[in-house]
A and B are shown apart, each in its own frame.
Chain A
């Protein structure tokens, strides 16, 4: 058997796990590991400019591929800088393995240089964490880390490695485990058949059913089955922010995103439904609005891999724990085999009602031909120029909601955004993580002048590794979502939401060796954007001036029912 040092085992284990890229930043505690990286060429290391970006790159890789991404950061500040990225992945159930350096084991607890209790700091935002106590455990710990990160409800796993576990002169027999067995970790592998049967009976008897699906469809690779189930039942489908792309965005049965900034029709469908089939979604507060007024006439079927998600905020009438794909498959079989199909007359009336709701709002927004562009127009143009086929990696704020509303995602794993934590600064590193792994695909970072400045240093990483993403910066010169709330709830007192002294983004991009473009007229937008995407080997930063006064609508009235919405600055349901 081969003898390897702890440092070599870390990298070899990653290789044996099939990892191609790791995203990281070196430091004292990791010098042995970085030396091992230098002496091989199978696992490529990507040097970021800030550890937060490393975690977001790993996270976005996971979102786009379904496989765990890997970040490598040093102890102390390296580890704490990674915490935001770990929390981002945790909130959205994204598989990720974060390897953190640690001071020598005999110094732990002595406030050593660059020491921080990473296991303690990260505890509330990880699925699990390991602290390496013996070098020979490294292969089995890394195997377990990937297993835990990628199975059940996925999530980030931290592996904290004291420097003396990686000493180059101490060598151990290396063998990467083929499988993992843990007596304390056995995720549910199939749904309860009796419950599934009950759910299908309820659905077949429904008059106003709806499917509300989330990120579990994407991570659970269940989009094909979801579409088949939705067609066989002829029911409307709404997606959560995390679930977009889980059902084709241009499909007639798709009623849009639901929730705070959901479509009028999606929220109306939810409010009036008599049966809600929730799959891989968790009834988040941004979805339910006031829980006491949520879906007053509906029976709730809740399918989720995580039992703790069920009946956490909204009590489920029929809970089903298990993997979405297998459960949906079983549902499809039962629907096919049923003696009577869905009530055709009720379906006709339900769809008639839905079409009326669609006609009332349908995502319209006012256009000002003379004045500034509307952000919605920019997203629609992005959708057009990229044929609705791009990876859209979003930052957080108004632009995120516009992208979610106006880019029609027909495929899963194309919409990459920080949904749960709402991490500004996510977009650019996320786009980089995707582009490095899908070099031939269109990858756009939809951002604002606020968010982009939270990780703008990564333009340098893009230069080093030739990562030609397209940055679509909706520049409204203000923190738009904060400003919107201030307009609506604080009599337009714009406390600290205005960004003075913005840089010249064109020159900034150019200084990093990229292409900068400034667009301030809608008439120029299509040409400029087409040109930007035609430059397949260059990063293009499009600084696009948009109307600073625009709000995101619909917007639910706080603590109201699903149907209580502002539809424009002056119109309420």
Chain B
């Protein structure tokens, strides 16, 4: 099953490599990983999506908590949550038919064309990973030149807050 883990950790040199190293060392799977400093510059917030049984995810959570730099770990999929991923996608758009088709599909998915050349369109799209997959599938007729995805960022719904 897919799980989204939110990790609050010290914004220290080497902290990221400890987390990534842990996953490979213990044979855990990483689907996506995003990390950046928070409003508090001493803290980083990381979102990891992983596939595994409940037992495996329990181990991942425990092993993450064991890392000295890690302050808190929450499995967002245990409760109501919101997940978003950003995608930048560059497509061949060298005919008016192709350009119309891409524009129409992007509108349906609430994406925006953020760059254009005579031969290409670059579309920006944010949403759940499934939605991004669906957009790629919907454009299967167009020629994809390049796809960049940010990986998932997640947050709990409602009043629940992951902080110190």
Most chain A CB inside 10 Å of its own CB: which residue of B68, B69, B70, B164? B68
Chain A positions 71 through 112: 1 when the CB is less than 8 Å from some CB of chain B, otherwise 0: 000000000000000000000000000000000000000000
| A302-346 at interface with B (beta carbon < 8 Å) | 306-308, 311-312, 315
Distance in angstroms between the alpha carbons of A133 and B12 in the assembled complex: 11
Provided the pairs A124-B21, A311-B55 are in contact, do residues A184 and B68 lie with their beta carbons within 8 angstroms?
A: yes
Contact B68 A307 (CB under 8 A): no
Interface string of A137-155 (1 = CB under 8 A from B): 0000000000010000000
Interface check B53, CB cutoff 8 A: no
Q: Can you list, as one digit per residue, whether each of B34-68 has a CB less than 8 Å from chain A (1) or not (0)?
A: 00000000000000000000010011001101101
Chain B interface size, under 10 / 10 to 19 / 20 to 34 / 35 or more: 20 to 34
Q: Known interface pairs A148-B68, A185-B68. Does A123 touch B18 (Cβ–Cβ under 8 Å)?
A: yes
Flag if A307 contacts B17 (CB, 8 Å).
no
- Check A183 for interface membership: any CB of B closer than 8 A: yes
Determine if B14 and A119 form an interchain contact, defined as CB atoms under 8 angstroms apart: yes
A386 sits at the interface (CB 8 A)? no
Whole-angstrom distance between the alpha carbons of A306 and B65 in the complex? 10
With an 8 Å Cβ cutoff, the count of chain A residues facing the other chain is 20
The reply to whether the CB of B74 lies closer than 8 angstroms to some CB of chain A is no
B59: chain A residues within 8 A (beta carbon): 308, 312
Cβ-defined contact, A131 with B66, below 8 A: no
At the interface, yes or no: B10 with Cβ under 8 Å from chain A? yes
* Neighbouring A residues of B18 by C-beta, 8 Å: 123
* Beta-carbon contact of A131 and B13 below 8 Å: yes
Chain B CB within 8 A of A1 CB: no
Complex: chain A residue closest to B15, CB-CB: A184
Q: Is A120 an interface residue (CB 8 A)?
A: yes
When A and B form their complex, what is the total count of cross-chain residue pairs whose Cβ atoms lie within 8 Å?
Answer: 38
Residues of A contacting B63 in the complex (Cβ-Cβ under 8 angstroms): 308
Q: Are B69 and A308 in contact (CB under 8 A)?
A: no
| Contact of A307 with B65 at beta-carbon distance under 8 Å, contacts A183-B164, A184-B10 already known | yes
**Complex alpha-carbon distance, A127 and B13, angstroms:** 16
A311 and B68 within 8 A (CB): no
In the bound complex, what is the Cα–Cα distance between A183 and B18 (angstroms)? 18
Cβ-defined contact, B71 with A307, below 8 A: no
Question: Is the Cβ of A182 less than 8 Å from the Cβ of B68?
Answer: yes
Whether B9 sits at the interface, judged by CB under 8 Å, is yes
Q: Does A358 contact B (CB under 8 A)?
A: no
Q: How far is the CA of A119 from the CA of B14 in the complex (A)?
A: 8
Determine if A308 and B66 form an interchain contact, defined as CB atoms under 8 angstroms apart: yes
Q: Bound complex: CA of A183 vs CA of B71, how far in Å?
A: 7
Q: Does B27 contact A (CB under 8 A)?
A: no
User: Does B96 belong to the interface (CB within 8 Å)?
Assistant: no
CA distance A308 to B26 in the complex (A): 12
Interface residues of B in 96-129 (CB under 8 A from A): none
* A127 and B17 contact, CB distance less than 8 A: no
Q: Cβ of A128 < 8 Å from any Cβ of B?
A: yes
Residues of chain A within 8 A of B62, CB atoms compared: 307-308
Chain A residue numbers with a CB within 8 Å of B9 are 184
Contact A131–B14 (Cβ < 8 Å): yes
Q: Does B17 lie within 8 Å of A120, measured CB to CB?
A: yes
Contacting residues, chain B, for A128 (C-beta < 8 A): 68
Contacts of A312 in B (CB 8 A): 59
Task: Give the CA-CA distance A125 to B9 in the complex, in Å.
Answer: 20
Q: Which of chain A's residues have a CB closer than 8 A to the CB of B66? A: 306-308
A184 engages B14 (CB within 8 Å): no
A246 smallest CB distance to B (angstroms): 24
Tell me, yes or no, whether B140 is within 8 Å of chain A by CB: no
Report yes or no: A123 in contact with B58, Cβ–Cβ below 8 A.
no
Does B137 sit within 8 A of A, measured CB to CB?
no
Using CB atoms, name the residue of chain A closest to B59.
A312
CB distance from B110 to the nearest CB of A (A): 39
How many whole Å from B154's CB to the nearest CB in chain A?
21
A311 / chain B contacts, CB cutoff of 8 Å? 55, 58
Give the CA-CA distance A100 to B10 in the complex, in Å. 23
A184 neighbours in B (Cβ, 8 Å): 9-10, 68-71
* Bound CA–CA A69/B142 (angstroms): 64
**A343→B10 CA distance, assembly (Å):** 52
Q: How far is the CB of A444 from chain B (nearest CB, A)?
A: 36
Contact with A along B10-34 (1 / 0, CB 8 A): 1001100110010001000000000
Q: How far is the CA of A192 from the CA of B69 in the complex (A)?
A: 25
A119 to B58, CA, bound (A): 27
> For residue B68, which residues in chain A have a CB less than 8 angstroms away from its CB?
127-128, 148, 182, 184-185
Chain A residues with CB under 8 Å of B69's CB are: 184
B25 touches A124 (CB 8 A): yes
Q: A182 vs B66: C-alpha distance in the bound complex, in angstroms?
A: 13
Residues of A182-204 contacting chain B, CB below 8 A: 182-185
Contacts of A308 in B (CB 8 A): 59, 62-63, 65-66
Q: Which residues of A contact B14 (CB under 8 A)?
A: 119, 123, 129, 131
Residue of A123, A129, A184, A315 most packed against chain B (CB within 10 A): A184
With most chain B CB atoms within 10 A of its CB, the pick from A120, A129, A148, A312 is A312
7 A-B pairs whose Cβ atoms sit less than 8 Å apart in the complex:
A119-B14, A124-B25, A133-B13, A148-B68, A184-B69, A307-B62, A307-B66
Nearest 4 CB-CB pairs, A to B? A308-B62, A128-B68, A184-B71, A124-B25
Which B positions have Cβ atoms within 8 angstroms of A?
A: 9-10, 13-14, 17-18, 21, 25, 55, 58-59, 62-63, 65-66, 68-71, 164
Apart from the given pairs A123-B17, A127-B68, A184-B10, 9 other A-B contacts in the complex at a CB distance below 8 Å: A119-B14, A123-B18, A129-B14, A131-B14, A133-B13, A148-B68, A308-B59, A308-B62, A311-B55
